[in-house]
């Protein structure tokens, strides 16, 4: 019943947009199920496209793990070509820790939703896909989407999935959601259609655990003695820390 109501609310929110009922229903079921999980863990692989000044597309890969304990605990790691990062929310502060540089940046946040908003609005670090961690995943879809389609059924890593495609004012995005009683996102692709060459950001999720045993120490940041606290930081096009100030 809860999944039906969630699907209905999403369909109603999409009333102004040209979104197929099947697409709204699947997205609503996924949002309701993912938002209802009190804890979960998942591994992920990311590919970020960057367009060089001469028009060449470069694709940067990174991988990581996410652990969530709602409403106020989060641990995320990401290892890429340059950075080896950790993101830790302990219920009172959000810490971004660069392992290689041995530097960290902190800002106040008491919930996961607050942490995502603070990174985006206060710091300017908009991590694509972060909305999936919210208690209302992909809530932006209700206002930013112009059209949506249920492309059809497909298979991803041997799992049958719903392939959804949406168009927005600034970006187009696609979502692959597992079929069945646990409608989880398995792949998410965002296309920046007004940027030259339309670069894409793609994230694939694997090893979903919807009832993990997570040690409380995962959500505690313990800096080393020589770790330096930063007052501000910025990130480059592939999400790596580009410039820091002590």
DSSP string covering 148-186, please? EEEEEEEEETTEEEEEEEEEESSEEEEEEEE-SSS--EE
Cα 193 from Cα 59, distance rounded (Å)? 17
The sign one gets for the Cα dihedral 212, 178, 188, 168 is: negative
Cα 84 from Cα 64, distance rounded (Å)? 10
Cα 235 from Cα 105, distance rounded (Å)? 13
3-state secondary structure of 90: coil
190-202 pLDDT, tens per residue?
Answer: 999 998 889 999 9
Nearest C-alpha neighbor of 214 from the set 70, 92, 40, 44: 40
3-state secondary structure of 117: helix
Give the pair of three-digit tokens for residue 45.
């692989």
Q: What's the pLDDT at 242?
A: 46
Query: Hey, what's the torsion of the CAs at 107, 68, 133, 163, to 10 degrees?
Result: 150
CATH number, domain 2-221, options 2.50.20.10, 1.10.600.10, 1.20.58.220, 3.20.20.140: 2.50.20.10
Contacts of 86 (CB under 8 A, 6+ apart): 75, 76, 77, 95, 96, 97, 99, 221
Mean pLDDT of the chain: 85
Q: Specify which residues 161 forms β-bridges with.
A: 154, 178
Yes or no: say if 189 and 201 are a contact pair by the CB < 8 Å rule: yes
Cα 3 from Cα 181, distance rounded (Å)? 10
Q: What's the pLDDT at 6?
A: 39
pTM over cut 0.95: no
Cα 59 from Cα 114, distance rounded (Å)? 30
Cα 241 from Cα 195, distance rounded (Å)? 22
- Between 9-18, 52-61, 97-106, 176-185, the lowest mean confidence (pLDDT) is in 9-18
Q: Specify which residues 117 forms β-bridges with.
A: none
Nearest C-alpha neighbor of 185 from the set 66, 85, 17, 83: 66
Q: In the predicted model, is pLDDT for residue 244 greater than 60? A: no
Q: In the predicted model, is pLDDT for residue 1 greater than 60? A: no
């Amino acid at each position: 019943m809860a999944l039906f109501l969630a699907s209905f609310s999403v369909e109603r929110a999409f009333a102004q947009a040209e979104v197929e009922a099947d697409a709204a229903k699947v997205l609503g079921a996924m949002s309701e199920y993912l938002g209802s999980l009190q804890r979960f863990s998942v591994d992920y692989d990311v590919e970020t496209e960057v367009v060089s000044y001469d028009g060449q597309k470069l694709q940067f890969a990174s991988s990581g793990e996410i652990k969530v304990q709602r409403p106020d605990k989060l641990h995320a790691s990401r290892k890429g070509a340059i950075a080896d990062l950790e993101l830790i929310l302990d219920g009172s502060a959000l810490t971004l820790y660069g392992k290689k540089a041995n530097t960290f940046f902190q800002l106040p946040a008491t919930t996961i939703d607050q942490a995502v908003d603070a990174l985006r609005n206060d710091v300017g670090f908009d991590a694509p896909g972060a909305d999936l961690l919210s208690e209302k995943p992909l809530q932006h879809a209700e206002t930013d989407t112009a059209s949506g389609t249920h492309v059809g059924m497909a298979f991803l890593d041997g799992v049958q999935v719903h392939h959804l495609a949406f168009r927005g004012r600034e970006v187009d995005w696609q979502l692959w959601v597992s079929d069945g009683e646990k409608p989880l996102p398995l792949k998410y692709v965002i296309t920046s259609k007004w940027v030259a060459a339309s670069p894409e950001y793609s994230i694939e999720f694997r090893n979903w655990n919807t009832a993990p045993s997570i040690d409380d120490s995962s959500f505690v940041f313990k800096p080393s003695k020589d770790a330096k606290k930063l007052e501000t930081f910025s990130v480059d096009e592939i999400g790596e820390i580009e410039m820091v100030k002590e």
